[in-house]
Amino acid sequence: RKEVEQDPGPFNVPEGATVAFNCTYSNSASQSFFWYRQDCRKEPKLLMSVYSSGNEDGRFTAQLNRASQYISLLIRDSKLSDSATYLCVVINQAGTALIFGKGTTLSVSS
Q: Which residues bind another protein (CB under 8 A)?
A: 31-32, 34, 38, 41-46, 49, 87, 91-92, 94-103
Task: Please tell me the distance from the alpha carbon of residue 93 to that of residue 53, in angstroms, as a whole number.
Answer: 21
Q: Which is nearer to another protein, 43 or 81 (CB)?
A: 43
Quote the least distance from Cβ 14 to another protein, whole Å: 26
Q: Which is nearer to another protein, 19 or 48 (CB)?
A: 48
**Do 60 and 46 form a contact (C-beta atoms < 8 A)?**
no
Quote the least distance from Cβ 25 to another protein, whole Å: 14
Task: Please tell me the distance from the alpha carbon of residue 96 to that of residue 55, in angstroms, as a whole number.
Answer: 24
Quote the least distance from Cβ 97 to another protein, whole Å: 4
Cβ contacts of residue 101 below 8 Å, gap of 6+?
4, 5, 6, 23, 87, 88, 89
Torsion angle, CA of 2/5/9/10, rounded to 10 degrees? -100
Query: Which of helix, strand or coil describes residue 94?
Result: coil
Q: Which is nearer to another protein, 14 or 95 (CB)?
A: 95
Q: Which is nearer to another protein, 43 or 53 (CB)?
A: 43
Quote the least distance from Cβ 104 to another protein, whole Å: 11
